Amino acid sequence: MASSGQFQLSKDAASHSKRVIDYVIRGPGRGKAFERMSDFVDCFSSRMAGTRELECAIDWAVAELRTSDFLDAQTEEFRMPRWSRGLEEASIVSPVRRKLSMLSLGYSAPTLPGGIEADCIVVHSFNELDSAAAQGLVRGRIVVFNQPWAGYDSTRQFRNHGPSLASKFGAVAALVRSVTPLAVDSPHAGVTLFDAAGATASPIPAACLAPDDAEALARWQRRQQTPRIRLSIQCSPTELDSIRSRNIVADLPGCDPAVAHELVVLCAHIDCWDVGQGAMDDAGGVFVAWEALRTIRQALQEHRTRRTIRLILFSGEELGLWGGRLYFEAHSSELAGRLSYMLETDGGTFDPRGVTCSGSAATTAALRTVLQPLESSLGACNVFEKLDGPDITEWASVGVPVGNLVTQRTGESADFYFQFHHSRGDTVSVQDPFEMDRCTAVMAVVALNLADASTMLPRGPEQAADKEPRLEA
């Protein structure tokens, strides 16, 4: 039975929150999240699902949770598709010779061993693709998508669905301008989807291009000179349901027999792309969430929360949110009525602004009181009404309030995160110890105050997640 009644913070919420904030901002917890994140990514840089590096990282994390944090940490295994990058290159062979900076997209098909060579057609929108196909300009060519940056959610549709649409029109390959606002010589990885709703296209070779290379190809086309491209992608063919990975679940147990079965969840994803170190996406999130649990325990050594606080480190996120979706499938009927709030951190661990939240006006109003102790010291007390948190949005469909930590580096635009996202630039150098401490404090205060509140968060109507399509295993 879920706890019922009017939502109120505990009488000690303000003093406990202050102790937690002081511990991580000025006390023994200062700099710990950054230090542990740095050690982790230097040891386990390329944590692609299905790789030995990721499995070793998971083994290390479980052992650390058990031996250093004395938590009951378990793994939950699941199956997902196999895809891995091999040798790859692309170049213009006419009207000039120039190497292109590229990365093959997840679930791309390989080229034949000798590669392919074909003229390209550059388009800037799906309407332009339709028009070019109607004129017979797509079949047998390499389609280059040079879409403008219009924010991540809109722009990623070209990466996700462009290659499958090009394939339906007879293209032999597709190259997509990287989904980033920064036009430098750096491609950004990601997945492309050949089984999306309404698409029955056969997989073709697909890659992302550095934005300046996509622009160069567009300039040649504007000069009425058709670029000819040579492309070689030696990735593994996609094999459905062929590899195993594991989510990590660790509990900080509640002490109140009446509500200890109720949960507050902090989560992030432990896997990353095979470029860069995955420090920002999402090792920063992993160690902010993890350090939040440590902070609660160490700053309030004499105190145990009423409810259980659960840490979940999802795997398989980058190749299609596999760990999050399969955790939902396995546990939604069991846990839907026991979850107060699920808070993910997968959008950077820069200067915290607040959190997002699904649910009703009552949900967000209650959550604002939870964040109130942060206002004077950190200012990160905003609650944004939005369905967010890639690995957990499906939980909103069964009424569970879900959200994501909202951060933004001071002095930078809201798109700063996407300058490094899925690229070789995602390294420890992007991260800042003070910002990570502040994020840790926010996560800890949210978890602590919800775990000790009189009831779980009020709920609102069920919300259907705007889900990314995935390969069906």
Whichever domain contains 271, its CATH number is 3.40.630.10
Q: Out of 317, 318, 394, 435, which one is annotated catalytic?
A: 317
Q: Rounded to an integer, what distance in angstroms lies between the CA atom of residue 268 and that of residue 289?
A: 7
> Which pLDDT belongs to residue 464?
59
Does a structural domain hold residue 262? Answer: yes
**Domain identity same for 18 and 155:** no
- 329: annotated active-site residue: no
Model confidence, pTM: 0.95
Does a structural domain hold residue 306? Answer: yes
> Which pLDDT belongs to residue 466?
53
pLDDT digits (tens, 9 = 90+) for 307-360: 999 999 999 999 999 999 999 999 999 999 999 999 999 999 999 999 999 999
**Domain identity same for 374 and 280:** yes
CATH number assigned to the domain comprising residue 133: 3.50.30.30
Does a structural domain hold residue 463? Answer: no
Over 90: is that where the pLDDT of 74 sits? yes
pLDDT digits (tens, 9 = 90+) for 260-319: 999 999 999 999 999 999 999 999 999 999 999 999 999 999 999 999 999 999 999 999
**Domain identity same for 351 and 254:** yes
Q: Which amino acid is at 84?
A: S
Residues 340, 264 contacting (CB under 8 angstroms): yes
158-to-129, 147, 152 alpha-carbon distances in Å? 11, 8, 10
Does a structural domain hold residue 78? Answer: yes
Q: Rounded to an integer, what distance in angstroms lies between the CA atom of residue 59 and that of residue 54?
A: 9
Three-state secondary-structure class, residue 132 = helix
**Mean per-residue pLDDT, 425-441:** 98
Last-in-domain residue among 188, 211, 233? 233
- The tally of domains found in the chain comes to 2
Q: Rounded to an integer, what distance in angstroms lies between the CA atom of residue 412 and that of residue 307?
A: 38
**Domain identity same for 267 and 411:** yes
Q: Rounded to an integer, what distance in angstroms lies between the CA atom of residue 159 and that of residue 416?
A: 19
**Domain identity same for 391 and 248:** yes
Over 70: is that where the pLDDT of 409 sits? yes
Of 94-108, 166-180, 197-211, 333-347, the least confident: 197-211
**Mean per-residue pLDDT, 9-28:** 98
Q: Nearest Cα to 297, choosing from 286, 285, 311?
A: 311
**Domain identity same for 375 and 253:** yes
**Domain identity same for 274 and 176:** no
Over 70: is that where the pLDDT of 2 sits? no
Over 70: is that where the pLDDT of 467 sits? no
Q: 272 lies in which domain range? A: 13-82+243-452
**Domain identity same for 249 and 174:** no
